[in-house]
Chains A and B, each alone.
Chain A
Amino acid sequence: MSKGTDPATGVWTQSAVRERNRVGRRRLIQGSAALGAAALASPRYAFSQSEKKSPLAGKSIHMQILGIAGWLPSKLGVDMSPEFAKYAKDMYGYDVSFSFADAPFGTLFQKAATSLATRSQEYNIIISDSQWLGALATPKWIFQVNPIIAKNPELNIEWWSPSIRSSYQVFPDGTNKLWGFPQVGDVYGIFIRKDILEGPGEADAFKAKYGRALPATWEDFEAMDYEEWTDFIAFFNRPEKGYYGLAAQYSREYDAASCPTMSVMRSLGGDVWDPKTGQVQGILDTPSNAHAMELYKAWLKYQPPGATNYFIAEVIDAFTQGKVFAAWQWVATGATMIPPNLKDKVLVVPPPSFKRADGSRVRNYIIGGQPWVINAFNDPEHFQVAVDFLKWWYLPETSHEYLMRGGMPCDKATCARPDFDGINPWNRTYKYMLLRSSDFWHDPKYSEMLSDQQDAFTGYYTGQIKDPLHALQWTACVQQKILYDEGTAMKAPTGACSGIRL
């Protein structure tokens, strides 16, 4: 359900929801009364019905979008949908109304999967987290979009970075099978309190202490690696003044501890698995990756007590309440991270690069963001509206409007606009990091692998496990077994795994 924070959400009136419910219930009963008949709603049938002309003219259709609760980009997708209603009326001659259902990050997949498993078209369009593509596509719960793109060339869009396609569209990795369209791109950035950074005497004190200039501009930060960053946040770590150097994500919740950790691992030259062979052991449990965990844990020194419990929300509270100088955060939270009282006081910069053995400095981060996917059990009408909706979403005007409202489009045309960087404080970092970020597993076993990995990573960060390499070895064994049992991995877990415990 939409929340009342914004009067704009009032567009979806109660009666619309109720009407929708009645329709939904009837449909559900019909659908489930004869499970065999559900085959009628299969993708192919639906697709053959869709024509370029508007066979829906004069009809009135209700769509429901399932998105991420309290997540600005998801909310924008919904807030802007009345514009589509106008557009559809003019362009295709049908009436469309929208309602919104939501669930928090950690549980949205449950919400979607438990509904899709009933072959329900309760949620016509779903904003899914990118790693779920495999889990949604494998049981054929969502449409494969290649034929849609073939029929609608305007949906064959050139993206700003190659990782957009591989992160939000492709499954299995490396194939040409596409399943979604980017709803929002997202990357890690570091939010810095500019007012503190530019405080009187800071530059001199920093220079005196470290013998180099205090970074000031976006370019200065772009040039900084992990060690330089460590000095920087240590310098601004001032518990006696009521604020700490940094807040970052270490929590057990969802993928909190995993995404930053894997970013450090990959920047250092490591990886978490081989998507081609499904091999985890020998790739994840390396000394280099263990070192990455040590590096990320070392930053806990400059963070508020209890930072090991921080996920997105806690970082927001710490930063906006002035308890930290800097925050490692997804830039999609920008509008919340920079409330009116912090306007013009915040700088958003790329997170650190990491020095590899060959001396190069690399950023190879985990990407955030979510794709739109289309429910495969949509009837032909709802399917058609979903396609029309996506076509509208990627119109240059819509993309621009989305950008202006604080969203983060992925198409090259919009990203390359000369005014792009200036529209929101995080835009420049967003574009820069999109070229240096990519996704991790798209495997259907994603959540199971993640859950075990979170146990191990947070175990290490909170001191329950002393040796990071042991945490990685355990994780690798468990993940290898999961993938081997599923048939994704070619090799069984090695003998060293028997009896290994966290």
Chain B
Amino acid sequence: MSERVREALYHALLWLVALVFFAPVFWIALSSFKTAPQILAVPPILFFRPTFANYARLFAEPAFQHHFFDSVALSVLAVLIAVAVSFLAAFAFSRFRPGATNFLMFLLLSIRMLPGSAAILPVYLMYVAFGWKDSFLGMTLFYAMFSIPFSVWILKGFIDGVSPRFDETGIVNGASWFSIITRLTLPQVFPGVVAALIFNFIFVWNEFLFNYIIGGINTSNIPVMLATGLSNGGGIDWTFLSSLTTVYILPPILMVYCFQRYLLVGMTFGTVRGEV
């Protein structure tokens, strides 16, 4: 009995923690069903008749569809490219351990160290000189580059955990290296691949600065639309902000929900391959 109660209390505590962290997000989502005066109302309104006008307005906006499409295309393409090339490199680092492995791994991580506003500066000047500003490909490849270091690190950890015996068996049986990489190794590091995809996806999905500076009308994602669209008539358009944020947060949240298992395993950097 007391065991049961204790477990119930424990579970209640866990839920409480989760809800506390979720509360601000919930507040944004709740606001998206309010009218502007209701959002600013004091005392705050918890129970009200929801309005869907904010969403109707948002979905009717051609710019929304355009930017949403750009967001999806940029994030998906960039992380796929990044994870693909990272996987190949991680395999090489893990299996062949070329002389400079540690140094190269460190160098890769250094990409992530530079503050965005520092990294954007030379990239901006370079894009201007090469005429890549506001080009979709230029933007995608840039994001791919930014997603590479983390992907290489995760995937190398996972490949380290796959016994080289598999390769040897493959070679003995006459398999090509390509088959060994894609057919023998890849399936075993799947959680790492998923974790790398999701983490980088979240980064690219929410990226604002680079998109704002080196992007343009062809490449603007939703964060840029949020930043420019939130002012209206000199004031802040709270209904626009809350409804767009809510819509935009759904895909990554669904991803976290659906791939949670892989995400948790993925963050072990390959030290665990079972259930977490």
Contact = CB atoms under 8 A, between A and B. Distances in A.
Interface string B111-130: 00000000000001000111
A103 to B, nearest CB: 5
B213 A317 contact: no
A316 interface: yes
A24 to B, nearest CB: 7
Contacts of A14: 62, 65-66
Interface stretch (B73-81, B149-157, B227-235): B227-235
A243 B232 CA distance: 24
Interface string B184-225: 000000000000000000000000000011101110100001
A118 B231 CA distance: 27
Contacts of B237: 3, 5, 70
A312 B228 CA distance: 15
Nearest to B124: A114
Contacts of B34: none
Q: Which size class do B's interface residues fall under?
A: 35 or more
Interface in A1-27: 1-5, 10, 13-14, 17-18, 20-21, 24-25
A79 interface: no
B37 interface: yes
A313 B236 CA distance: 6
Contacts of A172: none
Contacts of A115: 133, 216
Contacts of A313: 231, 234-236
Contacts of A332: 234
Nearest to B66: A14
Nearest to A335: B233
A4 B40 contact: no
B217 A20 contact: yes
B234 A72 contact: yes
A320 B233 CA distance: 12
A17 B217 contact: yes
A321 B131 CA distance: 48
A203 interface: no
B218 A25 contact: yes
Contacts of B240: 3
B29 interface: no
B134 interface: yes
A107 B240 CA distance: 20
Output the residue of B63, B134, B214, B217 with the most chain A CB within 10 A: B217
Contact of B131 (A3, A31, A117, A335): A31
Nearest to A7: B60
A117 B216 CA distance: 13
Interface in B17-56: 37, 40
A33 B130 CA distance: 7
A259 B63 CA distance: 34
B180 interface: no
B58 interface: yes
B66 A1 contact: yes
Contacts of A110: 212-213
A120 B133 CA distance: 10
B131 A29 contact: yes
Nearest to B214: A114
B128 A69 contact: no
A13 B61 CA distance: 10
Contact of B67 (A1, A70, A337): A1
B233 A336 contact: yes
Contacts of A179: none
Contacts of B67: 1
Interface in A280-328: 312-313, 316-317, 320-321
Given A10-B62, A17-B62, A110-B213, A71 B128 contact: no
Contacts of A28: 131, 133-135
A54 interface: no
Contact of A104 (B64, B217, B231): B231
Contacts of A25: 134-135, 218
A424 interface: no
A120 B67 CA distance: 22
A306 to B, nearest CB: 13
A330 interface: yes
A121 B66 CA distance: 21
Contact of B235 (A10, A13, A107, A317): A317
B57 interface: yes
Nearest to B240: A3
A97 interface: no
Contact of B37 (A21, A105, A321): A321
Contacts of B228: 1, 69, 102-104
A162 B41 CA distance: 44
Given A104-B228, A110-B213, A317-B40, A333 B233 contact: yes
A1 B134 contact: no
Contact of A69 (B37, B133, B231): B231
A101 interface: yes
A68 to B, nearest CB: 8
A35 B131 CA distance: 9
Nearest to A115: B216
Given A17-B66, A102-B228, A312 B235 contact: yes
Interface in A335-379: 335-337
A122 interface: yes
A33 B216 contact: no
Nearest to B40: A321
Contacts of B233: 70-72, 316, 333, 335-336
Contacts of B133: 28, 114-115, 118, 120
Nearest to A18: B66
Contacts of A156: none
A5 B236 CA distance: 13
A138 interface: no
Contact of B213 (A5, A64, A114): A114
A281 B63 CA distance: 48
A65 to B, nearest CB: 12
A24 B218 contact: yes
A-B pairs, 9 with minimum CB distance:
A32-B131, A336-B233, A70-B231, A1-B63, A4-B61, A316-B235, A333-B234, A70-B232, A14-B62
Interface of A: 1-5, 10, 13-14, 17-18, 20-21, 24-25, 28-29, 31-33, 35, 64, 69-72, 101-105, 107, 110-111, 114-115, 117-118, 120, 122, 312-313, 316-317, 320-321, 330, 332-333, 335-337
26 contacts: A3-B63, A3-B232, A3-B240, A4-B57, A4-B58, A4-B64, A5-B237, A10-B62, A17-B63, A21-B217, A21-B218, A24-B216, A24-B218, A25-B218, A28-B135, A70-B232, A70-B237, A71-B233, A71-B234, A104-B228, A104-B231, A114-B133, A118-B133, A120-B134, A332-B234, A336-B233
Given A4-B58, A31-B131, A70-B232, 4 more contacts: A14-B65, A17-B62, A33-B131, A313-B235
